[in-house]
Structures are given as structure tokens and as C-alpha cells.
Structure 1
Amino acid sequence: MGVPKFFRYTSERYPCLNELVKQYQIPDFDNMYLDMNGIIHNCSHPDDSNPHFRITEEKIFQDIFHYLSILFQIIKPKKLFFMAIDGVAPRAKMNQQRGRRFRSAREAEKLEADAKEKGEVLPTEKRFDSNCITPGTVFMARLHEQLKYFVKHKMSTDPLWSKVKVILSGHEVSDVM
């Protein structure tokens, strides 16, 4: 959901936050905090305008893990890596998200119908339903379990990960204190 005007507030007070850095100029960071929702959505439905696009849950998980690995490799936090998946949202926010997701599902159906009218052959697999990216769904529970496994694997096999405290705040968490 975010905090209104927070980005502008921090950008005005700390202008160095918006500097473009080159690969060899990345400063040292003690902590890295990630809002996982943008990553999950980008990896699960990167091309909603393509009626031919299909993706499996396994591929979504692989893409998320790859994305996390790349980010971690670039930033190289020294002390803490905190990954947060939005927990239960207030009712009004849930209603807003649900409305937006149903509109996008309706648009996807229209794109598919238009493609069929043009004579295009569409894949037989079902499209990924982004409505399942909601706290409490089976998809989110599976993702959380896969993320826990991924983190354990990285911490036991990757020296960079083993030196850092990793916290995964999952979809079932309503407040992080």
C-alpha cells in the first residue's frame, strides 16, 4: 500500500538516494529491505497484454528466486536481509485490490476473445490468475514455503548469504514489530 508522499519526502531530504550508480560504484550496505509484492507480480504476470502468455507456478518461483539472487549479488548486504510480503490488508484495500484484479481478468478475457476472433490459436493451458497473490491463499502459502527453502539453501551454500541475518516476513503476518 505504501505511505503517501513518503518517497518524495525522503528524496527531498536525502537526494543521494536517487543517484544513478554504476556496477563498480555500488556503496556498502549493512541492511537490505525488500517489498516482495512488486517482485512477485513482475515474475508472475509480466505481460498481461499478451493473450498467448502462459506461465507455471514453478517458473514463477524460479523467476522470483533468480530475481532475489541477482539483487542480493548486486547489493551485498553485510548484516541483514529483510524480505516482506504484504500481510493482511485493511478491508477497504482488499476491496480495491479485488476490483482492480477482476478488471484486469476481464480485460484478459477480452484480449483472448479478440485473438480468437482474429483466428489466432491460443495455448490450451489456463492463464495464471493474479487474484491468488493475496494473503491467505494456497498460492501464497506455497510461495512462502518455497521461499523458506530457498533462503535455507542459499544460506547453506552461498558464503555471502551465510554471513547475513535473513528475515522473511510472510503473507500471514499482519504487523511486523
Structure 2
Amino acid sequence: MGVPKFYRWISERYPCLSQVVRDYQIPEFDNFYLDMNGIIHMCSHPNDDDPMFRLPEDQIFSEIFKYIEALFRMIKPRKVMFLAVDGVAPRAKMNQQRGRRFRSAREAEDVVRKALQKGLVLPSEPRFDSNCITPGTEFMARLHEQLKYFVNQRVATDPSWQSVDVVLSGQEVH
């Protein structure tokens, strides 16, 4: 959910927090905390304005894993890698999300309608519904299982993952 104005508060107190870092200048980090929801959204529907865009679920999962792996290789945490998927939100946040979901569904319908008016023939596969990226959905349950498999596989086969404690905080955590 996020903490209102937290980034502003912390960046005012620690100005070195916001610096442009080049690939060869990445500092060492003990702990790497990753908010997965932004990654999930970016990897599942990177272009909502393209009515032709379709991505199968297994490819969405693969893109998420590639992104996590790329971040892990870039940051190289020394102690902890914490992957956090949002859990159930408080009631006020749920109401806010509901409005956003209705709006995104309406916008998706508008994109499809405009494409059909232009005479485009849309793919027969259904579009990814970003509203399923919410705790308790079947998509999130499948994603959690795949994330557990991914983490276990990386820890079992990759020495750089074996040297850190990897924590997966899934969507079922309150």
C-alpha cells in the first residue's frame, strides 16, 4: 500500500538516497527489499494502449522471473533478498482500488471499441485483465506458487542466491 509522503520524508533526511548511479558505480548492499507489484504490473501488461497486445500467463511469469534475476544480478545483495507481494489491503484502500479497477476496465473497453471502429481485427485470445493482480485471485495464487518454485530453484542451483537469505512474502500475508 505504501506510506504517504514517506519517500519525500526519507529523501529530505538522506539526500544521498537519490543519486544517478551508473552500472559500474553501484554501491554494495546488504539487504534488497523488492516491491513485487510494480514488477507484476509492468511484466503482465506493459502497453495497455495496444489492443493487439496479448501475453500468455506462462510468459508473464517468465518475464517476472527475468526481471527479478536482472535486479538481483545488478544489486548483488550480501545478506537478504526480500520479495514482497502486497497482501490484503485495509477497507479504505479497497474502496479506492475498486474505483480504479472499474475505471481501468472501462478504459480497456474504450481501447477495444476504438480499434474495432478503425477496422482492426483483434486477436482471439482474451486480453490480460490487470484487475486480477489483487490478493485472493486465482492468478495471484498461481503466481505465488510459481514464485516459490522460482526462488527454490534459484537457491538450489545458483551459488550467488545461496549466499543470501531469500524471503518471499506472498499475497496471503496480512
When normalised by structure 1's length, the TM-score is 0.96
Find out whether 1:76 has 2:55 as its counterpart.
no
Structure 1 unaligned spans of 5+? none
**1:165 counterpart residue number:** 165
Deviations 1:138-173 (A, max 9, x none): 111110000000001111111110100000000000
Deviation at 1:86, TM superposition (A): 0.7
Distance 2:24 2:110 in 1: 46
Equivalenced residue count is 174
**1:85 counterpart residue number:** 85
Amino acid at match of 1:45: H
Deviation at 1:32, TM superposition (A): 0.3
Distance 2:48 2:94 in 1: 21
When normalised by structure 2's length, the TM-score is 0.97
Find out whether 1:128 has 2:128 as its counterpart.
yes
Distance 2:32 2:67 in 1: 14
Instruction: Give the CA RMSD over aligned residues.
Output: 0.8
**1:53 counterpart residue number:** 53
**Mapped contact 1:155–1:162 kept (Cα < 8 A):** yes
**Mapped contact 1:51–1:112 kept (Cα < 8 A):** yes
Deviation at 1:94, TM superposition (A): 1.3
**2:118 counterpart residue number:** 118
**1:109 counterpart residue number:** 109
Structure 2 unaligned spans of 5+? none
**Mapped contact 1:98–1:131 kept (Cα < 8 A):** no
Q: After the TM superposition, which parts of structure 1 deviate over 2 Å for at least 4 consecutive aligned residues?
A: none
Deviation at 1:89, TM superposition (A): 0.3
Secondary structure in 2 matching 1:81:
strand
Deviation at 1:110, TM superposition (A): 1.2
Deviations 1:34-84 (A, max 9, x none): 111111111111111111111111111001000000000000000000011
Amino acid at match of 2:98: R
Identity %: 68
